[in-house]
Amino acid sequence: MKRFAPLILVVLILGMVVTPLWAASSGTSASTSNRAPGAGVATAITTVTGMAISPLLGAGGYGAYQWMAAKKNKTPVESLPWYAQISFWLPALGLVGLVAAKDSLGAVVPPGFKKPLDVLETIENKASGLVAAGAVVPFTMIALSDMIATHVPAETHHTGLAMLHLGAIDFSWLLNILTVPFGIAVFAVVWMASHAINVLILLSPWGAIDAALKGARTALLGLLTVTATMNPWISAAMSVVVIIVAYLVAGWAFRLTIFGSIFSWDFFTLRRKRFQVAPGDNKVFAGGNLPEVPVRTYGRLRKTESGLSFTYKPWLVLPEKTASVPAAGLVVGQGLFFSTMLNASNETQFLLPPRYRGHEQALSETYGLGGVRPAGLRKAWSATKELFGGSAAKTQMV
C-alpha cells in the first residue's frame, strides 16, 4: 500500500484542484472554451504541460498564437503580454530552429564538436524554464481564473440563499490562489522530467541517441498540440497521464537536473583550472552501484580511518545518510568530457563533474585508488589508434 501512496496522493491533489475549476467553468459554452489556448480548464492543463515539455518552443508558440489571434480579431497587440509580442516569440522560435538544425547535424558530426552545443542547450532549457515558470505559466493560470470568474452565471435562484447575492461576490482571488501555485507545481514536475532528456544527451556519446531522445519529446509535444485542436479534453487526459508519470520519476529527474546544472557550470566556467582535490573530502555523484543509493545522487566521498564512505542528503535537504564504499579495485576512468570511478567489475561507482578533468591522478593518490585509465570516448579513441597501429594511451598505475 505504501508503494502506491504517492500515486494516490497526486491523483487526489489533481482531483481537488481540477474538479472545482471544471464545475465553475461548466456554464461556459463549448465555443467559448475552445476559442483560444487557456480558455478552459482542459486547454489550460494542456498548455502548461506543453510548455513544461519544451519551454522555449511552448512559450514562443503560445505567444505567436496569441499574437495571430489578436491580429485576426483586430485587437491591439500592444495589450498582449510580453511573451506574445513579436519581439519575443519570433527570436524564440528562431532559436528553436537553430537547435533543431544542430540536432539534425548531430547524428553525423563527432561528439567533440557537438557536446559544447549540448551544454549550451541545457543552460538555455534551464533559463527558458525559469522564464516560463515565473511569467508565462502564471499569466496562463490567471487568464483561466478570469475566464471562469467572468462566465460564472451571476443570476441567483429562488432559494433562501438568493437574498445573499452570492453572484455579486468576486471569487477570482480565490481561483488565483488555487490555480497559480497548482500550475507552477505541474510545470516544475513535468519540466524536470523533460529536462532530464537534455542531461541524458550530455551523458550520451552518440548523436543518433540524442536525435532519438529529442524526437520522442517533440513527438509527445506535437501529439498534445494536435489533440488539443481536435478535442481539448482528450489532450487534457493525455496531459494528466504525463503529469502523473513525471511525478513518479521526479526523484530520478531531480538528480539528473542537479547533475546537468553542475556539469554545465563546471564546463563553461572552466572550473577545473581553479579546482584542487581536497584531502579526503570531495563532492561526486553516485554511479548507481552503491546499495540503497540512487544513481547520480550528489554527495561527498570521504576518506576515514575505517575506509571510504559516501555521505549525502536526499533531495539535498533531508537528513544526512552515509553508505560505505568498497575501496578494493577502484580506479579512476579518465573520459573526454568528464571522468568516473570504476570498481573491480569495471562498473561506474562514481561520476566526477568536469572540474576533475586533469586532476584524476591527484584524486587517485588522495584516496589510494588503483590508478588512472582511459574511459568512455577517450578509451574508444585509444582502441581506434591501436586498431590502426597507433600508440594507445596507457593506463597509469600508482
How is the chain split into domains, by residue range? Answer: 2-264, 272-387
Determine the 3-state secondary structure of 140 from DSSP: helix
Domain spanning 272-387: CATH 2.30.29 = yes
Residue 246 CA, distance from chain mean position: 10
CA dist list (Å): 84 to 48, 74, 87, 163, 176: 15, 15, 8, 43, 21
Phi and psi at residue 27, to the nearest 5°: -80, -5
Asked if residues 89 and 131 have their Cβ atoms less than 8 Å apart, the reply is: no
CB atoms inside a 10 Å sphere around CB 110: 10
Beta strands 298-304; 281-286: pairing state: antiparallel
Report CA-CA distances (Å) from 323 to 205, 289, 307, 332.
30, 11, 11, 20
Output the pTM of the full model. 0.71
pLDDT of residue 113: 64
- Between CA 279 and CA 171 the distance in angstroms is 60
Residue ranges of the chain with pLDDT lower than 50? 1-39, 152-169, 379-398
Residue 388 phi/psi, 5-degree rounding, is -100, 15
Rounded Cα gap, residues 72 and 193, in angstroms: 36
